[in-house]
Amino acid sequence: LGGRSSARRPRTRTARRAAAETRGGPVEILPYLFLGSCSHSSDLQGLQACGITAVLNVSASCPNHFEGLFRYKSIPVEDNQMVEISAWFQEAISFIVKNSGGRVLVHCQAGISRSATICLAYLIQSRRVRLDEAFDFVKQRRGVISPNFSFMGQLLQFETQVLCH
């Protein structure tokens, strides 16, 4: 038990914070939009407590745990620099809009990069806000968000498309 085994404890402040935030439930971004992790998506009581009616799964590895109970949409992407997540923005936004009469959980593995990216794209398009404003808004609610560098670049391009047309 003593010693400094890095296998047992999170290595970074962000990892520790993510672990702490994951212990709670998913966070409310808007009254009908929640952001969380794979562990949130597998917690039936937590989902029901939040009134979740639909789940947008932005991962290739996390299963859709309660197929009969919630509407699901899967976006099977990995969290890496090569992924063109922007190719999924419109489909993801449409799913959120279609289910916004209920409550939608958007999640990936950790609730840090992929699902945060989708929530940011949704805010840019639906609220017509700039990326930095959307980012600050989401970061205040889930402090661990950190879309990878490539995803941030794709969000900047998306912001330009949305706000300049």
pTM across the whole model: 0.87
CATH T-level fold of 29-164: Protein-Tyrosine Phosphatase; Chain A (3.90.190)
In the numeric block, which tokens belong to residue 61? 């590895």
In the numeric block, which tokens belong to residue 159? 């912001």
Q: Are 106 and 77 a contacting pair, CB within 8 Å? A: no
**Predicted local distance difference test score (pLDDT) of residue 25:** 87
Does 119 participate in catalysis according to the annotation?
no
Q: Are 26 and 138 a contacting pair, CB within 8 Å? A: no
d(C-alpha 56, C-alpha 143), whole Å: 20
Q: Are 21 and 142 a contacting pair, CB within 8 Å? A: yes
Number of residues that make up the chain: 165
Q: What does the pLDDT look like over 102-147, one tens digit per residue? A: 999 999 999 999 999 999 999 999 999 999 999 999 999 999 999 9
**Predicted local distance difference test score (pLDDT) of residue 13:** 54
**161 sits in which H/E element:** helix 149-164
Mean pLDDT by 10 residues, the chain (165 residues): 41 50 80 97 95 97 96 96 97 97 97 98 98 98 97 98 91
Which residue out of 50, 108, 119, 164 is catalytically annotated?
108
In the chain, the amino acid numbered 43 is D
Contacts of 119 (CB under 8 A, 6+ apart): 29, 33, 35, 106, 138
